[in-house]
C-alpha cells in the first residue's frame, strides 16, 4: 500500500474510532458515576463478553483472508460463516446460562443476559471480515460507532428506572450490542450479494479458525487477567477504579488499531516483500504515535478523572502512569499479529507472544498485587508487555531477514520505499 493510501485509510479509521471512543468515554462516565462497585461489575461483565467475541473472531478473519489473499467469492462464504456464527452463539448461550445459574456474586449471576444476546453478538466480528478483506473502511467502522451510540442511549433510559443499577447497565449493554449485531449481519449479507451458503472453502480451515480464537482469548486474558485477580484480592470497588485506569491507558491503541486495520488487506497481499514493508511501516507509525501521545494522555487524565468521575477515582492515576509505558510499546503488537495471521497464516506465532506476555503478567502479579494492589497490577502488566513486544519484534525481523536498524528507518527501510 502506498504511504498516502495507508494514511487515508488510517485517517478514516481514526475518525471512526475517535467517535467510538468519545461514546465509550460517555458510557464510562455514566457507569462510573453510579459507583466504583457498579463500574467494577460492568468491567468484568464486558471482559467476559469480549472473551466470547474473541473466541470466535477467527470466522471473520478467515473471511478477510480468503478475500484479500485468495480473492474468493464473498456471498456463499459469508453466508456459511454467518450460519456458523449463529450456531456457535447458541452453544455459547447454553454455557453462559449454566454459569449464571451456578454463580452467586455479581456480575456472574447476571450472565443470563449475555446468554440471550450471544447468538447475535457474534454477527458483527464475522460480518466485518467482508469489509476488512475488501479494505472498505466505511462499512467496517459503522458498527463500531453504532453499538456504543445505541448502548449510551439505552443507558440513559434504563438507569433512570427502579431496577438495580448494575442490572440496568448490563441490560443496556447487551441489548444495544445485539441489535447492532443483527443489523450488521443483514447489511453484510445484502452487500455481498445474497447467495446460497457454501461451506466448501471452509473445509480444512477450522484449525485456522480455532487457532485464531485461542490466540485472541489468550491475548484478552493478557489484557484483563489482572482485573480479575484484583477483584479477587480487593473486591469490586478496587477493580472498578483500576478498570478506569486500564480503559484510559488503552486509548493509546486507538492510534495503532486505526493504522493496522487500514493496512490489513495489504498485509495479506500475495507479495511477501510488500506485506513485510507495509507491516514495518505500520509498526513504526504505531510506536511513534503512541509514545508521543502517552504523556499527553496522562496529563489530561490527571486533570479530568477526579473532576469528571469523582474523588473515588483519583486512585486510578498511579496505575495509569505505570501502565502507559507498556501500553505504548505494545502498540506494535496489532500490526505484527496481522502479519503473522493474514500474511504468514500462522496465528500460533501471535498466540505464543500473547502467551508469553500472559505468563509474565501472572508471575509478576502474583507477587505485586498482594503488596501494592492496583499499582502492582499495572506494574505487572507494563513490564510483561515490554518484554513480550521485544520478543515479537525479534521474531518479525528474523522472519523478514531485516536488521534492527530497519525499525528506525535506516537504509533497508528507504530502499523499500517506506521512508
Lowest mean pLDDT across 68-82, 108-122, 219-233, 257-271: 257-271
Query: Predicted confidence band at 409 (pLDDT cuts at 50, 70, 90)?
Result: low
Q: Among residues of the chain, what percentage have pLDDT more than 90?
A: 41
State yes or no: pLDDT of 412 exceeds 60.
no
Who has greater pLDDT, 85 or 73? 85
Secondary structure of the chain as H, E, C letters = CCHHHHHHHHHHHHHHHHHHHHHHHHHHHHHHCCCHHHHHHHHHHHHHHHHHHHHCCHHHHHHHHHHHHCCCCHHHHHHHHHHHHHHHHHHHHHHHHHHHHHCCCCCHHHHHHHHHHHHHHCHHHHHHHHHHHHCCHHHHHHHHHHHHHHHHHHHHHHCCCCCCHHHHHHHHHHHHHHHHHHHHHHHHHHHHCCCCCCCHHHCCCHHHHHHHHHHHHHHHHHHHHHHHHHHHHHCHHHHHHHHHHHHHHHHHHHHHHHHHHHHHHHHCCCCHHHHHHHHHHHHHHHHHHHHHHHHHHHHHHHHHHHHHHCHHHHHHHHHHHHHHHHHHHHHHHHHHHHHHHHHCCCHHHHHHHHHHHHHHHHHHHHHHHHHHCHHHHHHHHHHHHHHHHHHHHHHHHHHHCCCHHHHHCCHHHHHCCCC
User: Kindly report the CA angle at 52 between 119 and 382, in degrees rounded to 5?
Assistant: 155
Question: Is 80 exceeded by the pLDDT of residue 139?
Answer: yes
| Entry pTM | 0.78
Q: Is the pLDDT of residue 55 over 70?
A: yes
In whole numbers, what is the pLDDT of the chain averaged over residues?
A: 84
User: Does residue 418 surpass a pLDDT of 60?
Assistant: no
283 pLDDT tier (thresholds 50, 70, 90): confident
Q: Is the pLDDT of residue 397 over 80?
A: yes
Q: Does residue 142 surpass a pLDDT of 60? A: yes
pLDDT category at 148 given cuts 50, 70, 90 is very high
pLDDT in tens, 323-341: 999 999 888 888 888 788 7
Residue 419 has a pLDDT of 31
Model confidence pLDDT, tens digit, residues 12-54:
767 887 888 899 989 999 999 999 999 999 999 999 999 888 8
Q: Is the pLDDT of residue 174 over 90?
A: yes
Amino acid at each position: 500500500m502506498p504511504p498516502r493510501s495507508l494514511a487515508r485509510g488510517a485517517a478514516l479509521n481514526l475518525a471512526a474510532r475517535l467517535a467510538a471512543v468519545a461514546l465509550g468515554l460517555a458510557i464510562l462516565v455514566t457507569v462510573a458515576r453510579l459507583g466504583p462497585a457498579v463500574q467494577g461489575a460492568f468491567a468484568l461483565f464486558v471482559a467476559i463478553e469480549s472473551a466470547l467475541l474473541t473466541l470466535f473472531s477467527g470466522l471473520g478473519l478467515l473471511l478477510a483472508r480468503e478475500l484479500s489473499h485468495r480473492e474468493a467469492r464473498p456471498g456463499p462464504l459469508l453466508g456459511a460463516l454467518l450460519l456458523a456464527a449463529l450456531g456457535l452463539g447458541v452453544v455459547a448461550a447454553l454455557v453462559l446460562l449454566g454459569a449464571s445459574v451456578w454463580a452467586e456474586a455479581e456480575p456472574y449471576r447476571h450472565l443470563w443476559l449475555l446468554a440471550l444476546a450471544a447468538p447475535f453478538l457474534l454477527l458483527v466480528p464475522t460480518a466485518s471480515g467482508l469489509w476488512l478483506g475488501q479494505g472498505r473502511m466505511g462499512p467496517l467502522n459503522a458498527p463500531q460507532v453504532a453499538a456504543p451510540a445505541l448502548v449510551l442511549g439505552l443507558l440513559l433510559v434504563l438507569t433512570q428506572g427502579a431496577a438495580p443499577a448494575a442490572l440496568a447497565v448490563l441490560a443496556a449493554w447487551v441489548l444495544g450490542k445485539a441489535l447492532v449485531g443483527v443489523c450488521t449481519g443483514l447489511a453484510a449479507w445484502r452487500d455481498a450479494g445474497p447467495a446460497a451458503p457454501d461451506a466448501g472453502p471452509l473445509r480444512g480451515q477450522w484449525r485456522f479458525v480455532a487457532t485464531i480464537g485461542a490466540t485472541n482469548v489468550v491475548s484478552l486474558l493478557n489484557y484483563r487477567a489482572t482485573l480479575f485477580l484484583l477483584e479477587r484480592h480487593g473486591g469490586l470497588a478496587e477493580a472498578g477504579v483500576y478498570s478506569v485506569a486500564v480503559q484510559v491507558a488503552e486509548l493509546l491503541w486507538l492510534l495503532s488499531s486505526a493504522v493496522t486495520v487500514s493496512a490489513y488487506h495489504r498485509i495479506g497481499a500475495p507479495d511477501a516483500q510488500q506485506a513485510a514493508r507495509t507491516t514495518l511501516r505500520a509498526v513504526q507509525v504505531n510506536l511513534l504515535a503512541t509514545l508521543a501521545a502517552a504523556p499527553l494522555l496522562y496529563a489530561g487524565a490527571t486533570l479530568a478523572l477526579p473532576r469528571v468521575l469523582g474523588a473515588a477515582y483519583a486512585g486510578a492515576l498511579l496505575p495509569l502512569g505505570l501502565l502507559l509505558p507498556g501500553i505504548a510499546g505494545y502498540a506494535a503488537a496489532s500490526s505484527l499479529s496481522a502479519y503473522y495471521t493474514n500474511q504468514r497464516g500462522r496465528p500460533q506465532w501471535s498466540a505464543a507472544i500473547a502467551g508469553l506476555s500472559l505468563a509474565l503478567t501472572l508471575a509478576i502479579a502474583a507477587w505485586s498485587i498482594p503488596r501494592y494492589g492496583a499499582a502492582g497490577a499495572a506494574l505487572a502488566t507494563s513490564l510483561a508487555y515490554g518484554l513480550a513486544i521485544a520478543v515479537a519484534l525479534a521474531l518479525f525481523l528474523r522472519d523478514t531477514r531485516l536488521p534492527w536498524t530497519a525499525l528506525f528507518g535506516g537504509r533497508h527501510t528507504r530502499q523499500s520505499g517506506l521512508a
